[in-house]
Amino acid sequence: MSTAKKTGADALAEKGWFGSHKWLVLRRISQLVTLGLFLVGPLAGLWIVKGNLAYSLTLNTLPLADPYVLLQSLLAGHIPEKMALIGVAIVLAFYFLVGGRVYCSWVCPVNMVTDAAAWLRGRFGIKGGAHISRKLRYWVLGMTLAVAAITGTIAWELINPVSMLHRGLIFGIGMTWAIVLAVFLLDLFVSANAWCGHVCPVGAFYSLLGKWSPLRVSAAKREACNDCMDCYAVCPEPQVIKPALKGAKQNIGPAILSPNCTNCGRCIDVCSKDVFRFGLRSAR
C-alpha cells in the first residue's frame, strides 16, 4: 500500500536528512574507520593495526581474533597459542555485550556491498526472486564446522567472501573482486538480502553469539506506530520487528530479541514517529 511513497520519506520530512540517516552515517563511519585503521599501515606505513579481521594486533599489544575462524581451527584439531586465545576472549565478550551481529552491520566490509545491492534493488524496483530460507545460514554454519572437523582444515576460509574481501583490501585483492561481485549480483538479482540474511555462516555464528546480548533495538514507543511499514521495508531482517512492535497485546516486551537483528539502527532512522531506540533487552 505504500508503493507510491518512497521508504523513509516521512522521516525525512519530519526529522531532516541527518535525523533520518543518523545511524546509517555512524555505521558507515564505523565500517570505514575500521577498514581505514587496517589500511593506514600498508598504505601510509602507520602501523596502528596489523593483520585482518581473522586476527589483528593493535598498537603491538591488543590482540583481537575471530572466534568463528578459531572454532573451525579447533575443530580441525589445532589448539592455538595464547595470543589468539586472548584475542578470541576479548572479541567474544565484546559481541556478547553489544549484540553479535553488530559485527555484520558495523564492521563487516561485505555489508557495504550488500547494502549497495539492496539500495539498488529498491531504486530499480527489482522485486521477488528465488526463495531462500533464512535458516539456510545455520545449516551452512553447521556444514562449515563439519567440513573443518572432517578435513582437518579451516575449509570455509578457502572461499569465505567476508574474510577474502577484508584480506584482499589490505593484502592485495587479486581475483577476490569476482567473488565479491558474485555476492553483489546474488543480492541484486537473485534474492533480497540473500547473502547476509540467508547464506552467510559468519553472520549465523555471530547471531548465536549475540543470542542473549543485552544491547537491543527496542520499539519503546510502539503505541505511536502509524503502520507506515517503512521499518519493515528498510530492515535487512524484517521478520525480527513484528514481535516487538506488535506484541503489546500478547504481553511481549518492546525489545527486538531475535538474534538475527543486526543492531544496524536503520529502523530508528526511518521511523517518523521515533518508535525505536537502542535499549536493553529487558526493556518493558
Partner 1 sequence: MNDTNGKKPGVGQATRRQFLIDMVKTACTVGLMGAGLGLYAKQAKALPPLAIRPPGALLEADFQGACIRCGLCVRDCPYNILELAKPEHSVATGTPYFVARNIPCEMCEDIPCVKACPTGALDHQLTDINKSKMGLAVLVDHETCLNFLGLRCDVCYRVCPVIDKAITLEPIHNVRTGKHTMFLPTVHSDYCTGCGKCEKSCVLEEAAIKVFPIKLAKGKLGEHYRLGWEEKTHAGKSLVAPEIEHQYTLPEGYKYEQGRGLIPGSSGESVAPGTQPGIPKALQGDKP
Give contact residues for partner 1 (rule: CB under 8 A): 41, 47, 50-52, 54-57, 63, 65-66, 69-70, 73, 76-81, 83-84, 87, 131, 133-136, 139-140, 142-144, 146-148, 150-159, 163-164, 167-168, 170-176, 178-179, 239, 242
d(CA 49, CA 98) in angstroms, rounded, equals: 22
d(CA 244, CA 254) in angstroms, rounded, equals: 5
**In the bound complex, what is the minimum distance in angstroms from residue 123's beta carbon to partner 1?**
24
Q: How far is CA 199 from CA 45, 101, 142, 267, in A?
A: 36, 14, 12, 23
Nearer to partner 1, 24 or 199 (CB): 199
C-beta separation of 181 from 187 below 8 A: no
**In the bound complex, what is the minimum distance in angstroms from residue 113's beta carbon to partner 1?**
16
Nearer to partner 1, 20 or 73 (CB): 73
Nearer to partner 1, 97 or 143 (CB): 143
**In the bound complex, what is the minimum distance in angstroms from residue 198's beta carbon to partner 1?**
9
Residues in the chain: 284
d(CA 42, CA 78) in angstroms, rounded, equals: 30
**In the bound complex, what is the minimum distance in angstroms from residue 195's beta carbon to partner 1?**
14
Coil, helix or strand at residue 205:
helix
Nearer to partner 1, 78 or 211 (CB): 78
Nearer to partner 1, 30 or 58 (CB): 58
**In the bound complex, what is the minimum distance in angstroms from residue 50's beta carbon to partner 1?**
5
* Helix-strand-coil split of the chain, %, nearest 5: 55, 5, 35
